[in-house]
Amino acid sequence: MNSMMKYFLSLGSNIGDREKNLSDSCFLLEKEHIKILRSSSIYETQPVDYLSQPWFLNQMLEVFTGLLPDELLDIIKKIETKLGRLKSIPKGPREIDIDIILAGELIQQTPRLQIPHPQMHKRNFVLVPLREMDPGVVHPVLMKTIESLALDNDDPSEIRKYRSD
């Protein structure tokens, strides 16, 4: 077992039973011994980039695991496949999308995985739930808090609280 690390994961779903896809993801993560410390409210969000698709439900999780980022990514890909995700239109509709947003203060830039997530500071669906959970978290590259990134963000996409846990 490697040393334990805290990660922030972003979950999104816009096909099928969106709420069930989010809760099934949480269940499957915990089955893989990834401890969910807390979760944000669920938000309904307007699609970004590829606009002609249904709105998403998004949620942020703070998790704790001994897995290295690439090992966590392997498990995430397995969960996405299990829940029916197919690679189709880039940024298009999907049953579930799980992204590693932050991994403690780690910075990783490989062709397979970039941490912090390269688009996180430009996305309402990441910043709003993350700000709800922990506004003081510092982006390890930009060296700004989530609070200030959320305030400076100019993403015009709509986001509204769908359900609080």
Is pLDDT above 90 for 94? no
Q: Quote the domain boundaries for residue 43.
A: 5-163
Q: What is the mean pLDDT of the chain?
A: 93
Is pLDDT above 60 for 52? yes
Q: Region 85-96: what's the mean pLDDT?
A: 74
Angle ∠(134,140,143) on CA atoms, nearest 5: 85
**Residue 114 corresponds to which tokens in the numbers above?**
């970039």
Count of structural domains, the chain = 1
Is pLDDT above 90 for 28? yes
**Domain containing residue 131: CATH number:** 3.30.70.560
Distance set, CA 63 to CA 33, 89, 100, 130, 138 (Å): 10, 29, 10, 13, 17
* pLDDT top residue among 20 and 86: 20
Q: Region 137-151: what's the mean pLDDT?
A: 97
Is pLDDT above 60 for 1? no
Q: Region 134-148: what's the mean pLDDT?
A: 97
